[in-house]
Amino acid sequence: MPYRKLFSSMAQALYRAYLSSAEHAAMTVDGTYAATYRHRGDDADTGAVGDELRAIGYRSDDGDVQYSVSARVLELVPDRLIV
């Protein structure tokens, strides 16, 4: 497979994975750490500009999910860029 085509396929796969709660969580050490996007006050399965990403979540002793990473999606260029 030509390098350019391989790179393009990898970029598309990574772009989709980082904007999918399930795929983002699956990229963690053992796939069990939760990842969600906060979209207009609700949890969302996919990220969009303006959403808050909450990632590397774990259940605390009281059962609530605590997140180690929080970021806001500022810009998206499909299959190429996530800021």
pLDDT at 31: 66
Please give the average per-residue pLDDT across 49-64, as a whole number: 84
pLDDT at 4: 67
Q: Residue with structure tokens 């970021």? A: 71
Instruction: Give the contacts of 50 (CB within 8 A, at least 6 positions apart).
Output: 39, 72, 73
Tell me if 75 sits within 8 A of 49, measured CB to CB. Answer: yes
**Predicted TM-score (pTM) of this structure:** 0.66
The first and second tokens of residue 67, run together, are 């997140």
